[in-house]
Amino acid sequence: MKPTGGDVTTLDKRLAGLDDAIESLANTSDFGKQLKLARVFSALRRLLVLPGGCAAVRTRAARLDAAGLFLGTDWATPQILVPALSTGSLLSPNVDTMVLETVSDLRLLAVAKGEYTHPDVSAEHARNHLTQVLAINLSLLFSPPTEAQRAQQGRMTTVPRELLGHLVEEVGYEKVLENLVDEIWRILRQRPIQVDSVKRMITQIAVARTNPDIDLGASGLGADRLISSLYSTTEACREDPGVDVYRGRLESMDDSALQSEATGFARSMHDTGLVSPYHAVLLRLLADKSDYLLSEAMGLSSTGRDCLLCYHELVHALIDAAVQVETAQGIYGLALMLERGILYQPPVAPALWRQLSLHLSQHARERLTAVFGPVPDPHTRLLSGMLSMLGLPLGVGQGDNPTCQSARALSMWAYNDPDYLLQTLAWAARDDEIVMHFEGQSISSRDLDAGVAVALPNDLDPVSMLVVPHLDRIYAEMGRRCIGREGDPHRWVNPEFHGWWSGRGFRINVDVATGQLIGLDEFIRHFYACYHPLYNGNQPLIHPQPAGIAATDSAARFVGWHAITVLRVSLDPEGTMRVYFYNPNNDSGQDWGDGVVVGTAGRGERFGEASLPFEQFASRLYIFHHDPLESGELAAVAADELDRVVGYMRRSWGADRMSAA
């Protein structure tokens, strides 16, 4: 937005104040800059809320950078900034964080336009970063701020939209939408349970697609596939007629036409991982007509079809209770649950019947309604979420919460012990309590204080929404009961918390007291001996195992300790031995620095798996479990391979931890 009339005078005055503040900051030593920053932030806040403020700050981006605005922050190294993290910064209740992100993006725009030559960022890199920032935050550009944002950011709530508007004017919609399409496909290849944000992005693309001035170019086909997966999947809903009209069309179709609709929806669902609301209308109608057509509509193989026929009444009851237009995504979970064949496990079908008739507590109903709304009712919403988790156990995400242990537990149970998952869900939803045992002593979540998360999460799937707060408190209590023991508490907590299949043998390469690396050679050789097929007698991993990694950013700097699950180890299509693992952090495709880039597709990964070459994974590992009766001899790993693993450590999270190694 350009300034007009009286805005120009105000803008000039505030620019003069900013210029004085920048000069004062630039003339101060690094030691004293912190005292001068408050004045700079104040000037920036007053300027950015004005029309034309972003354009004015952009012209001063180089001076702000040189003066030391970003000193001591992540924005000081723009070459490693992650576009996906920009949303949290732009919506942060800490206004200074939002200002830093805004000025940094304007700095990169100046670099992209050739107005500022940065020693570490090329114009192409800056342009690519900004297109990704715009793609990820496009909803902020089109949607008004929420009441929460207004309450937290006050007048500054307009700044993110002003910034994005300025960026899109300079970068252009075409490149942004191309990046957005690529980003959506990258996320969908991981098959997350929660896809609401993806659906919102597809809706934005659909709106932009109607603009004749926007040409998507080569990405147009991918965009059309995404749009059709939700709004125009089959011939009968090609023009997005609305569910009532579509229902009327279905009622007049013969079996041949219905089969065409069924196969069209199934093909799209399995291709994208997304389910159209129209699919729910069709499935409910077919449930009253033919199991054959029902099977076709879910795209079932012989395994899933047999499971459907064997558990005919249960599947129909689940469709009737869980599948609504608003919960259509649960159809994909139901289909994959049938494909997994877990209904043949004796406890699962009775547990699902129990869930169908379960009376939710008042607290559970209020929590689900507060987050997902009153339509459909909380019972339907929870059933749909349950089907998604049972069908996509590796799609469970922890949201923006420090609850990776709890998310990992839910994923592991859905993957390996679904009847226990259903048991914990029944306890949490009906009783507002989960009881677990630690070394023979019962622990009730009802009697415990808060766990790792300080507030109730609001960005999880329906099952996690109810179960995670209980698991989080129990996990923290198990840790408290290990206080005073020598070593890392995960040694005792993980097997008790996750399940009997978690190995009681335990290895760690960090001294808990000092944080220094210890016994690296033995640790690495033992990991190879336990998990590498060429060193463990070609024994596949039988049960998923909890493990801990030292998470690093794209500059290979240590970020923190993180819980993951080792799923399997095998050769990828190119003959590289890889570790395939589950990461609960919502998006497994990450750059961990020093060439360690996590794969999610194209290297033999199944939906929801992340992967790394064995030695790169070993370089980020700090704890793992094993069966103490099967440990065997330490692997005779070649010295050069050991050196490569240690080298990755030394150049990343182990850089200042090697003294005791």
By CB atoms closer than 10 A (0-12, 13-18, 19+), residue 239 is: exposed
Percent of the chain with pLDDT over 70: 95
- Residue 110 sits in which domain range? 6-171
Residue 202 is assigned to a structural domain of this protein: yes
Instruction: State how far the Cα of 338 lies from the Cα of 334, in Å rounded to an integer.
Output: 6
What pLDDT, on the 0 to 100 scale, is given for residue 659? Answer: 65
Pairing mode, strands 505-508 and 610-613? unpaired
DSSP letters, 582-634, are: E--SS----B-STT-B-B-SSSSPPTT-EEEEHHHHHHHEEEEEE-TTS--SP
Tokens of 205: 């693309």
- pLDDT tens figures, 303-349: 999 999 999 999 999 999 999 999 999 999 999 999 999 999 999 99
Tokens of 68: 């030391």
Helical segments of 358-436, H only: 362-372, 378-391, 404-416, 418-426
Residue 618 is assigned to a structural domain of this protein: yes
Beta bridge partners of 443: 436
Which H or E run includes 630? none
- Listed residues 481, 513, 536: the one ending a domain: 481
Which H or E run includes 442? strand 441-444
CB 403 within 8 A of CB 468: yes
What pLDDT, on the 0 to 100 scale, is given for residue 660? Answer: 43
Residue 542 is assigned to a structural domain of this protein: yes
Beta bridge partners of 570: 578
Tokens of 138: 């496009």
Same domain, 543 and 426: no
Tokens of 140: 């902020």
Instruction: State how far the Cα of 558 lies from the Cα of 656, in Å rounded to an integer.
Output: 10
Same domain, 185 and 166: no
Same domain, 628 and 536: yes
C-alpha distances out from residue 327 to 178, 468, 592, Å: 29, 21, 36
Tell me the residue ranges of DSSP E strands in 175-333.
Answer: none
Residue 252 is assigned to a structural domain of this protein: no
- pLDDT tens figures, 186-202: 899 999 999 998 898 88
Residue 92 is assigned to a structural domain of this protein: yes
- pLDDT tens figures, 65-89: 999 999 989 899 999 888 888 988 9
Distance from chain centroid for Cα 617: 20
**How much is the average pLDDT of 608-632?**
93
CB 528 within 8 A of CB 637: yes
The CA-CA-CA angle for residues 93, 96, 102, to 5°, reads: 100
Instruction: State how far the Cα of 576 lies from the Cα of 571, in Å rounded to an integer.
Output: 5
**How much is the average pLDDT of 352-356?**
98
CB 87 within 8 A of CB 135: no
Same domain, 20 and 153: yes
What pLDDT, on the 0 to 100 scale, is given for residue 528? Answer: 96
DSSP letters, 151-207, are: HHHGGGGGHHHHHHHHHHHHH-HHHHHHHHHHHHHHHHTT--S--HHHHHHHHHHHH
CB 187 within 8 A of CB 272: no
Count of alpha carbons within 13 Å of 482, Cβ hemisphere only? 18
Same domain, 517 and 596: yes
At 149, the pLDDT band (50, 70, 90 cuts) reads low
Same domain, 469 and 428: yes
Highest mean pLDDT among 165-169, 184-188, 470-474: 470-474
C-alpha distances out from residue 637 to 313, 522, 526, 644, 660, Å: 55, 10, 10, 11, 22
Closest CA to 541 of 492, 497, 578: 578
CB 1 within 8 A of CB 53: no
Count of alpha carbons within 13 Å of 384, Cβ hemisphere only? 28
Closest CA to 633 of 537, 529, 533, 540: 529
**How much is the average pLDDT of 604-622?**
96
What pLDDT, on the 0 to 100 scale, is given for residue 168? Answer: 85
pLDDT at residue 496 is higher than 80: yes
Tokens of 20: 């004085």
- Listed residues 481, 515, 544: the one ending a domain: 481
Residue 592 is assigned to a structural domain of this protein: yes
At 8, the pLDDT band (50, 70, 90 cuts) reads low
Residue 458 is assigned to a structural domain of this protein: yes
Same domain, 20 and 165: yes
Tokens of 339: 């494909």
Same domain, 68 and 186: no
**How much is the average pLDDT of 504-512?**
94
Tokens of 131: 């297109």
Instruction: State how far the Cα of 264 lies from the Cα of 258, in Å rounded to an integer.
Output: 10
Closest CA to 389 of 326, 303, 463, 465: 463
**How much is the average pLDDT of 456-476?**
94
- Listed residues 163, 197, 231: the one ending a domain: 231
Same domain, 359 and 459: yes
At 481, the pLDDT band (50, 70, 90 cuts) reads very high
Same domain, 535 and 418: no
Mean pLDDT of the chain: 91
Same domain, 71 and 145: yes
Closest CA to 368 of 327, 316, 418, 320: 327
- pLDDT tens figures, 270-298: 999 999 999 999 999 999 998 999 999 99
Tokens of 318: 């689940």
- pLDDT tens figures, 402-413: 899 999 999 999
What pLDDT, on the 0 to 100 scale, is given for residue 587? Answer: 81
Domains: count for the chain:
4
Same domain, 157 and 191: no
What pLDDT, on the 0 to 100 scale, is given for residue 548? Answer: 96
Residue 630 is assigned to a structural domain of this protein: yes
3-state secondary structure of 563: strand
Instruction: State how far the Cα of 367 lies from the Cα of 467, in Å rounded to an integer.
Output: 11
- pLDDT tens figures, 556-582: 889 889 999 999 999 999 999 999 999
Tokens of 644: 């490569």
Closest CA to 351 of 407, 427, 446: 427
pLDDT at residue 7 is higher than 60: no
Which H or E run includes 568? strand 558-571
Instruction: State how far the Cα of 424 lies from the Cα of 463, in Å rounded to an integer.
Output: 10
- pLDDT tens figures, 198-249: 898 888 788 877 777 676 666 677 888 999 999 999 999 999 999 999 999 9
